[in-house]
Structure 1
Amino acid sequence: MSFDKEKIYGDTPGKQKVIHFNNAGASLVTQTVLDTQKDYLDLEADIGGYEALAMSQDKLENVYKSVAKMINATPEEIAIVENATVGWAMGFYAIDFKPGDRILTVEAEYVSNFIAYLHMEKEKGVSVEVIPSDENGNLDLKLLEYMIDENVKLISATHVPTNSGLVNMVSDLGKIAKKHDILFLVDACQSVGQMPIDVEAIGCDMLSATSRKYLRGPRGVGFLYVKKSIIEELHPPIVDLRSAKWLSPTVYELRNDAKRFENWENNCAAILGFGAAVDYALEVGLENIKERNDELAGYLRDKLNSISGVNIHAISDHQCAITTFHVDGHDAVDIVNKLRENGINTSLSEPSSTLLDARKNKLPNMVRASIHYYNDETEIDRFIETLTKMI
């Protein structure tokens, strides 16, 4: 479709009931996503779960094709899993770390990922080191080059951090990782769906994301991309009859595609809803979505900057659809709660979610307003009016 605002608004039933600026948490789903899930659940109720699965194999396989098309991969490089955390962890923990290996990551890395690094530091004796950023929040690539030696096993980065609109230049990291033959893992949980993602252009070996955020799909499903050339180098931390074949009483054989990172039991309704969400994003066009998101986010930040006492955490020129801010003399928790009482959804961004960046920039609790292309200027105006009255 062309970027038909009225159709997009009409395809979003929740838009009639709430102003939803919590898309970095979980977006409002489209009617198609909702109908797809309901139809499958009805089928399960009518004929049984195993039988519904058997009838829906082609539709389920098409989800892999859609995800692959969206990120410029092949279906064999896609694993569909319970959520982005599972996807990321299945890739990360499949790496054969040895004592003395080094993990390089970014300052605004997400809490769950950094905890995993620290766990690997404790269990395997690796070291975890942070790639410095300049005063504008941009990665210092020259210093990164100096940090690299033969012991660097992994470069791992969050593309869009949870606590600001920063967009890390992961394609620059990808070039350096490729130059030095280092594994490169990208957490794209908050970028997939709000902007075009091309794994070949990024140069990553693995990339994880979720359905529920900017893809506008259901909760409880996500994916992991693994580059075909490295799949057989990685042994998943959990294996079952989905990921491997039992060949003899003492022998099993892993699959040779990314499904080796899956397990057998899945929420088929959620997977099909996820596929419908991806197809919808592809139909609207990821470039169109990014363009509209940039337009709306710029409008929102301009309006916020006009309010005395509002402080936006946006130090980099590379900004996206997420805006975080705090208000002098006001608790962010109270603001989020009062906005919700007025039919406006935002979320709370706590320092603990990106501890290193928060400490460096002395960040308090912040309000996170994350818009998406189905939002509009009228909603932003009402948000600004409501916020102004509150403070």
Structure 2
Amino acid sequence: MAIDVDAARQDTRGTAHATHLDSAGSSLMPRPVADAVVAHLRREELVGGYAAAAEAAERLEAVYSSLARLIGSSPGEIAVLESGSTAWAAAVSRLRPAAPRVLLGRTEYWHNVLVLRRLARRDGLELVVLDDDAHGQVDVAHLRRELDRGDVGMVALTHVPMGGAQVQPAAEVGRACRAAGVPFVLDACQSAGQLPLDVQELGCDVLVGTGRKFLRGPRGTAFVHVRRELLDRLEPELSERRSPARDAGEGRARLLESWETGVAARLGLGRAVDHALELGPEPIRDRVRALAESLRGRLAALPAVQVHDRGLVRCGIVTFSVRDRPPDRVQAHLAGQRITVSTAPLPPPAAEQVLDPAPEHQTVAVRASVHYYNTEEELDRLAAALS
């Protein structure tokens, strides 16, 4: 069923104030999500944080069920944290590879690379950057050759890079990892909310997502799925994380959580997930993809604009540059016309630059990221502002 765009915009207060093309950074919350956050804060104002949390216990527990439905997981395999980077590091740091080599893609998120470098120093690991194929996606044939060596302890992949449109062939990677018995960690922070996700089909052992991007949740929310067979390898780092209920097994993934957290934001995350499920992940994907391709066509028609997107399968992120104009200047120019975009580094061309994500190695582009509440008229506005 097609998405009712007019209804979606009426439900999104921010669309009346600006053309928002930055869902890859932080999307606009729908009205029910913002209302859920504010309502809980008002309750905390009246009765205090602990009493308000106790009243919301059933709704808080339902957040895990909603997330499980979103990604084909189970509530006991999910933890809710405060950021995608924190969630990724918390899970990966506790799942020590059983073999010395860790494989990662060229589009791996820079914070993930820094965590892997720290683990490599601590545990004597070797980090191996996989080749890209001709389409700018991870070369699955290269992955299989590396797995055939038999000394791989983990494979890490970012599903959608922060500075690119390509959707990595995660399901193919997952099948290869399952066949080799190697844990597969998928960073889905840019894909959760704009693409359908199913951890069984993807074959990932760990999946990390964030709330503020395409899921349209509040800032300060993220989640991580850890496959049940790996849960016994999780141990808390802080004493405040341990509780008998979490140690008991069914909710063991929650050992990754901190006890003290923002309850209002968690409730907002749950409402955002329910909102996405009500619309349907497939209709969201189809509209986002169509809008992004429409925008690429507009930008490609402008003589001074170069579109950088690659990939056999592309998503709602569109990266481009304007001749003789620095990306931050383009961003500021558009902001002056109430058009919100961001900037992001493009994937580095060399493997050694992936392992050393320093600013001097980065080529930065302008990033426009559409969502289902955007319109063709807003894309026209962006193209006109650039021309």
Query: Does TM, normalized by the shorter one, top 0.5?
Result: yes
- 2:18 is matched with 18
Partner residue of 2:37? 37
Indicate yes or no: 2:153 matched with 1:153: yes
In the TM superposition, 1:123-142 aligns within 5 A as: 123-142=122-141
> If the length of structure 1 is used for normalisation, what is the TM-score?
0.93
Aligned to 1:214: 214
**Aligned pairs for 1:354-369 within 5 A:** 356=350, 364-369=363-368
Map Cα deviations across residues 281-325 of structure 1 (whole Å, 9 max, x no partner). 000111000010011001100000100021111222221000101
Shift of 1:348: 1.0
Indicate whether 1:350 and 2:330 are aligned. no
User: 1:53-93: per-residue Cα shift (whole Å, max 9, x none)?
Assistant: 11000010011110000101111111011111111111100
Tell me the distance in 1 between the aligned counterparts of 2:351 and 2:190.
17
Of 249, 256, 264 in structure 1, the residue corresponding to residue 259 of structure 2 is 264
Aligned: 1:70 with 2:65: no
Amino acid in the other structure paired with 1:130? V
SS for the counterpart of 2:274 is helix
1:33-56 CA-to-partner distances (Å, cap 9, x unmatched) read: 111011000000011111001100
* Matching of residue 112 in structure 1 with residue 79 in structure 2: no
Deviation sequence 1:1-44 (CA, Å, 0-9, x none): 86221111100000000101110000000011111011000000
Q: Please report how far the alpha carbon of residue 120 of structure 1 lies from its aligned counterpart in structure 2 after TM superposition.
A: 1.4
Task: Give 2:276's match in structure 1, choosing from 277, 281, 284.
Answer: 281
In structure 2, the CA distance between the partners of 1:88 and 1:294, relative to structure 1 (3 Å rule), is same
Query: 2:93 & 2:157 partners in 1: Cα distance?
Result: 15
In 2, Cα distance between equivalents of 1:315 and 1:37: 38
Deviation at 1:116, TM superposition (A): 1.0
Kindly indicate whether the alpha-carbon contact (under 8 Å) linking 1:196 and 1:290 is maintained by their aligned counterparts in 2: yes
Query: Closer, same or farther in 2 for the Cα pair 1:358/1:344, shift >3 Å?
Result: farther
In structure 1, the gaps of 5 or more residues are 247-251
d(CA) in 2 for partners of 1:28, 1:96: 37
The offset of 1:239, in angstroms, is 3.6
* Residues in 1 aligned to 2:153 and 2:13: alpha-carbon distance in whole angstroms: 46
Task: Give me the whole-angstrom Cα distance separating, in 2, the residues matched to 1:198 and 1:243.
Answer: 29
Contact 2:234/2:253 (<8 A) preserved: no
Using the alignment, how far apart are the partners of 2:158 and 2:188 within structure 1?
6
Q: Distance in 2 between matches of 1:233 and 1:46?
A: 41
User: Kindly tell me: are residues 265 and 161 of structure 1, through their superposed partners in 2, closer, same or farther at Cα, counting changes over 3 Å?
Assistant: same
- What is the identity percentage for the equivalent residue pairs of Structure 1 and Structure 2? 34
Range 116-125 or range 59-68, more displaced: 116-125
Assess if the C-alpha contact under 8 Å between 1:206 and 1:226 holds in 2.
Answer: yes
For 1:129 and 1:212, how far apart are their aligned partners in 2? 31
Counterpart residue identity of residue 107, structure 2? A
Q: Distance in 2 between matches of 1:242 and 1:143?
A: 40
CA distance in structure 2 between the partners assigned to 1:285 and 1:195 by the alignment: 10
Separation in 2 of the partners of 1:358 and 1:242?
37
Q: Residue 104 of structure 1 contacts residue 152 of structure 1 at CA under 8 Å; is this kept in 2?
A: yes
Q: Aligned pair 1:227/2:227, yes or no?
A: yes
Quote the offset at 1:235 in angstroms: 2.6
Is 1:243–1:259's contact at 8 Å kept on the other side of the alignment?
no
**Superposition CA RMSD, Å:** 2.0
Which amino acid counterpart does residue 290 of structure 2 have in structure 1?
E
Three-state SS of the structure 2 residue aligned to 1:93 is helix
2:330 alignment partner, one of 315, 330, 335: 335
Relative to 1, partners in 2 of residues 1:164 and 1:86: Cα closer, same or farther, differing over 3 Å? same
Per-residue CA deviation, residues 224-252 of structure 1 (Å, 9 max, x unaligned), is 0011121112334x243443449xxxxx9
The residue number in structure 2 matching 1:249 is none
Aligned mate of 2:289, from 282, 294, 313: 294
**Deviation string for 1:304-358 (max 9, x for gaps)?**
010002111122222100010111211111000110111000001135x757589
Partner of 2:7: 7
Q: Deviations over 1:237-289 (max 9, x none)?
A: x243443449xxxxx95755211111101100000001110010000111000
Tell me, yes or no, if structure 1 residue 92 matches structure 2 residue 87: no
- Residue 48 of structure 1 is matched in structure 2 by 48
Give the structure 1 partner of residue 358 of structure 2.
Answer: none
